[in-house]
Amino acid sequence: MTTATPLINNTQNSVNVTTKSQEQSLYQSSGAIVAAIVVGVIVIFTVVLLILKTYNRHMRVKRELEPKPSKAAMAPALGQSSHGLCQPPTVTVIPVDIHMHSR
């Protein structure tokens, strides 16, 4: 009967080892899943960043290459008179030594 006791202990130890190994594999697989999710998120952010940079570069080149409107073409568009005549804006210059009195 002394040989039966060690067999029972060995069986319990093998069950404990099997349980620990299953727990370890679960922890390892969950860690692998978390790592895969993190890598996926990083890849998605990188792709979005590259797309935005390319779009920004494309729009900047498009703005630089399109013709710029001249001031003569902008003036009638901004201030069209009711008479249909294009009048340039007037500028009034007040010399520094003349002081205007407040009313």
Q: What is the pLDDT of residues 32-48, one digit of tens each?
A: 999 999 999 999 999 99
CA angle, 19 then 22 then 27, to 5°: 125
Flag whether 76 is in a domain. no
Flag whether 4 is in a domain. no
Flag whether 103 is in a domain. no
Q: Structural domain of residue 52, as residue ranges?
A: 40-66
Number of domains in the chain: 1
CA dihedral 71, 74, 80, 84 (to 10 degrees): 70
Give residue for tokens 């899943």. Answer: 33
**Segments of the chain scoring below 50 in pLDDT:** none
Backbone phi and psi for residue 81, each to the nearest 5 degrees, phi listed first: -85, 160
Query: Can you give the pLDDT at residue 55?
Result: 96
Query: Can you give the pLDDT at residue 78?
Result: 54
Flag whether 11 is in a domain. no
Longest CA–CA separation in the chain, Å? 125
